[in-house]
Amino acid sequence: MNDIIKAMIKAASHALQHAYAPYSKFAVGSSLQSEDGSIFTGVNVENGSYGLTVCAETSAICQMIAAGQRKIKNMVILAKNNKLCPPCGACRQRIYEFCEPETRVYLCDQQTVLKALTVNELLPLAFSLNPPDRKKL
């Protein structure tokens, strides 16, 4: 595990403490490294109207977009219970939207990587209206 991934696990673990999960009690933290090396974090934010819940991965992606970045280089996802926490289908599609084929997604506990996947392993046969020229995004 390289120093960048260690820093991303630490950032996601720190963010995890701010997750808002009063209904499921399933707190999730995420961090991503953008193309320029910046690290953005996100947490899940639940809502009494469950459909309005925001996932940690989506939260981190929104932070990246708000900062003017458009490409995910690496992503870390972890849960407070320290078990493997793969992203939901909607988040897999969102991750795909902002990545390159070599983008890596690391499913972690709060200290180490449990599983590492490429985005194509995470979401084989991803939906796309027209396969975008990823270099133009």
In this predicted structure, the answer to whether residue 108 has a pLDDT above a threshold of 70 is yes
Q: What is the CATH number of the domain that holds 117?
A: 3.40.140.10
pLDDT score, position 130 = 66
- 3-class DSSP assignment, residue 18: coil
**DSSP symbol at 25:** -
| Catalytic, out of 57, 97, 100, 121 | 57
Annotated active-site residue 97? The verdict is: no
pLDDT score, position 10 = 98
What is the tally of structural domains in the chain?
A: 1
The verdict on whether residue 49 carries a ligand-binding annotation is yes
Read off the pLDDT of residues 1-40 as tens digits, 9 standing for 90 and up: 799 999 999 999 999 999 999 999 999 999 999 999 999 9
In terms of pTM, does the model score above 0.75?
yes
Read off the pLDDT of residues 38-82 as tens digits, 9 standing for 90 and up: 999 999 999 999 999 999 999 999 999 999 999 999 999 999 998
**DSSP symbol at 67:** T
The verdict on whether residue 47 carries a ligand-binding annotation is yes
- Tell me, yes or no, whether 136 lies in a domain: no
- Tell me, yes or no, whether 76 lies in a domain: yes
The verdict on whether residue 88 carries a ligand-binding annotation is yes
Contact between 95 and 31 (Cβ < 8 Å) = no
- Tell me, yes or no, whether 57 lies in a domain: yes
What b/e sequence results for 5-43 when a residue is b if at least 16 CB atoms lie within 10 Å of its CB, and e otherwise?
beebbebbbebbeebebeeeeebbbbbbbbbeeebbbbb
